[in-house]
């Protein structure tokens, strides 16, 4: 586990794979696996021991009943405060204009959640995971970190470390994972389809109404997603309102960085050897690839189906961006489009499904949460 922690730090620093998260996670892995330390105390089942009330903390630490990281886990992760606040920061950094201007994006974003459900079924059928754990492994296919953390901390906290590590590692590998899948299910002629770059600019009113309307619709359709989508849209409203620039900059800047530090060290501390070195953890590594592959394929297949009924053809590769991974997925599609046809400029078309996928993943997370918690 000490070697694994060192490898994670190496990947973050040398290979620049999600460094802001992998570096703290790697150090957290090393810290909790050092012998004779009491940074994080676990029960016999490998679950972190929850800290007591604020008045009891010093006594519990002095007696060795909890470590300092148990406090961070109890009040930041277990209560889901940190994952929810991260949704605010993500919303403040997300531009929904491409999705608003290109509404069909929401079809592709929804279709790209296919990988979540396929892996969910595989996990349950395998017998390695219970139904709650299966949902958490499946949600990796949404390629969106905050929903993965939120759902896993609620349904399967014991797997939060391995699942978060795999999810963010694979998000960094999107440029490697997606192209082979896209090439497998599309023809060169499809990849060369030229799309007009005349996407309209949404009005200020549309940008302001969008987060409000989405919050209301999501809460009515999937009540359990209200907290997730609400926080996400709240951050976006700060961005687009035009009168809360200071709050938006704080949410997407210093506040976001503090939350990432706390999240990274907390996640790393959830990976003692007895939790990580298991069949489940190894299975998660393989199943995540399946989830990404089918998520990518689902978006592309949806675009191909739309093309059968549309006079103006869509480059089906933009559907692959529905797996969220903002903006890496959109960049992958753009580069592949230019290789097939140098006149193609697909980045804005792909950004529509990209951000629509974020909303879709949040809704699926709420769906799982409402059914299983």
Number of alpha carbons in the 13 Å side-chain half-sphere of residue 216 = 4
At residue 40, the 3 state secondary structure works out as coil
d(CA 105, CA 85): 26
Q: By C-alpha distance, which of 109, 144, 108 is closest to 316? A: 108
DSSP for 142-163 reads G--HHHHHHHHHHH-GGGHHHH
Largest CA distance in the chain: 72
d(CA 373, CA 368): 8
pLDDT for residue 60: 87
Phi, psi of 48 (to 5 degrees): -60, 140
Q: Which residues of the chain carry a pLDDT beneath 50?
A: none
pLDDT for residue 17: 84
pLDDT for residue 229: 94
d(CA 148, CA 255): 20
Q: By C-alpha distance, which of 290, 285, 270 is closest to 169? A: 285
pLDDT for residue 256: 93
At residue 305, the 3 state secondary structure works out as helix
pLDDT for residue 292: 93
Q: DSSP assignment, residue 77? A: I
Q: What is the pLDDT of residues 213-230, one digit of tens each?
A: 999 999 999 999 999 999
pLDDT for residue 290: 95
Q: With the CA atoms of 228, 229, 232 and 237 taken in that order, what torsion angle do they form, in degrees rounded to the nearest 10?
A: -140
pLDDT for residue 277: 83
Q: By C-alpha distance, which of 296, 315, 337 is closest to 182? A: 296
d(CA 33, CA 56): 26
At residue 29, the 3 state secondary structure works out as helix
Q: Is the dihedral of CA 197, 202, 207, 211 positive or negative?
A: negative
Q: By C-alpha distance, which of 264, 288, 284 is closest to 276? A: 284
Number of alpha carbons in the 13 Å side-chain half-sphere of residue 225 = 24
Which tokens in the block code for residue 39?
């940074």
Q: With the CA atoms of 52, 261, 1 and 283 taken in that order, what torsion angle do they form, in degrees rounded to the nearest 10?
A: 90
Helices (H) and strands (E) in the chain, counts: 21, 0
pLDDT for residue 369: 93
* pTM for the structure as a whole: 0.88
């Amino acid at each position: 586990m000490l070697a694994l922690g060192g490898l994670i730090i190496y990947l973050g620093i040398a290979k620049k794979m999600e460094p802001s998260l992998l570096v703290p996670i790697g150090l957290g892995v090393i810290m909790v696996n050092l012998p004779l330390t009491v940074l994080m105390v676990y029960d016999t089942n490998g679950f972190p021991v929850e800290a007591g009330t604020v008045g009891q903390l010093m006594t519990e630490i002095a007696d060795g009943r909890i470590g300092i990281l148990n406090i961070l886990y109890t009040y930041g992760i277990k209560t889901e405060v940190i994952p929810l606040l991260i949704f605010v920061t993500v919303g403040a950094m997300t531009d929904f204009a491409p999705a608003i201007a290109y509404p069909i994006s929401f079809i592709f974003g929804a279709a790209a959640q296919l990988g979540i459900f396929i892996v969910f079924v595989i996990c349950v059928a395998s017998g390695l995971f219970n139904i709650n754990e299966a949902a958490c492994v499946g949600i990796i296919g949404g390629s969106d970190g905050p929903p993965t953390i939120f759902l896993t901390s609620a349904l399967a906290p014991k797997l939060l470390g391995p699942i978060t590590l795999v999810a963010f590692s694979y998000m960094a590998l999107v440029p490697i994972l997606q192209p082979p899948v896209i090439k497998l299910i599309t023809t060169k002629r499809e990849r060369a389809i030229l799309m007009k770059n005349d996407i309209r600019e949404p009005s200020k009113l549309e940008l302001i109404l969008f987060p409000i309307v989405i919050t209301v619709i999501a809460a009515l359709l999937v009540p359990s997603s209200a907290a997730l989508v609400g926080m996400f849209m709240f951050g976006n409203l700060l961005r687009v309102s035009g009168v809360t620039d200071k709050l938006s900059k704080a949410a997407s800047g210093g506040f976001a960085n503090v939350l990432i530090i706390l999240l990274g060290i907390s996640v790393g501390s959830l990976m003692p050897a007895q939790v990580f070195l298991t069949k489940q953890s190894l299975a998660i590594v393989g199943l995540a690839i399946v989830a990404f592959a089918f998520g990518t394929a689902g978006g592309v297949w949806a675009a191909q189906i739309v093309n059968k009924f549309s006079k103006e053809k869509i480059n089906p590769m933009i559907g692959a961006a529905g797996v969220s991974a903002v903006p890496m997925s959109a960049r992958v599609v753009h580069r592949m489009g230019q290789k097939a046809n140098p006149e193609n400029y697909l980045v804005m078309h792909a950004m529509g499904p990209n951000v629509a996928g974020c909303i879709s993943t949040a809704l699926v997370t709420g769906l799982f949460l409402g059914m299983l918690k």
